[in-house]
Amino acid sequence: MTFEIPDDGVPVYNESFENGLSEFYGGVKGCIYKCDGDFETDGNTNIKCAVVSRKHVRVVEADAVEDAYERILQYGKDGSLIVNRYENLTDEQRRRDRNMVLYAIKKYNLLEGLHPMSGFVQEKFPSVWDEAIHKS
């Protein structure tokens, strides 16, 4: 729920809670791969640019990332990514996020406390958690 890719193709990261970007990505290492091949769109993700390959794909470039948070900030500065900080979200964006969290609470039975996301959602979205309790 934290990102979208509008028609112009520039990804938009929407921070769903204060300092969420740094909590998720600060200090995270990884690699960005550029691949060459024919791909199918993965309709299961609901992300129009997500692709799946059912065969081996040639990696033509690998970019090691030491700190994903710093890289995301760099992409924000150079315009290849838009970062919407939590404090700058519109009421509509916050309402949409609230509804998505409520949906996840119900879909995954998070109130039972057995799902790995239960503690995270309860901690980061306490008002939505309380709303879900009152609706159940």
The structure tokens 């939505």 sit at 128
Contact 15, 84 (CB under 8 A): yes
Could you give phi then psi for residue 83, rounded to 5 degrees? -110, 120
pLDDT class of 130 with cuts at 50, 70, 90: very high
Is residue 90 scored above 80 in pLDDT?
yes
pLDDT class of 41 with cuts at 50, 70, 90: low
Average pLDDT along the chain: 91
pLDDT for residue 134: 95
pLDDT class of 53 with cuts at 50, 70, 90: confident
Is residue 52 scored above 80 in pLDDT?
no
- Ranges of each domain in the chain: 90-136
